[in-house]
Amino acid sequence: MAKKILVVDDAMFMRKLLSDILSKAGYEVVAEAGNGEEAYQMFKQHHPDLVTMDITMPEVTGIEGVKLITLDYPDAKILMCSAMGQENMVIDSVKAGAKGFIVKPFVAEKVIAEVQKLIG
């Protein structure tokens, strides 16, 4: 059975891009969310194997989203998505419970390599 992934980004085109990369690699994108709060709600509903989480989002940021999810689901596997130059935020997100990160703009091979490291 395909591994389930929740894609979180405030930009719909980025969610679509990432969903396409993941789907082509055989993963099932079970839900999408536009901020950290929506991500938490979708996680509770779908219990995905992995979450890809944008760092910079309105209302509830990715780092806050990681904290929300890992508080209730400490074993959650969360892969942060960051633009260049957000190294400090990546460090903060790892401290909050993220398991890795990928850099925008996305390179399909690198995205899949990181996802495979976390969930096979």
Angle at 107 between CA 104 and CA 113, to 5 degrees: 110
Which pLDDT tens digit goes with each residue over 63-116? 999 999 999 999 999 999 988 777 788 889 999 999 999 999 999 999 999 999
- Tell me how crowded residue 7 is: count the other CB atoms within 10 A of its CB: 27
Contact 119, 78 (CB under 8 A): no
φ, ψ of residue 45 to 5 degrees: the values are: -75, -40
- Tell me how crowded residue 86 is: count the other CB atoms within 10 A of its CB: 18
> Mean pLDDT across the stretch 5-21?
97
Domains of the chain: 4-119 (3.40.50.2300)
Q: Which pTM was predicted? A: 0.95
105 cis-preceded (ω within 30 degrees of 0) = yes
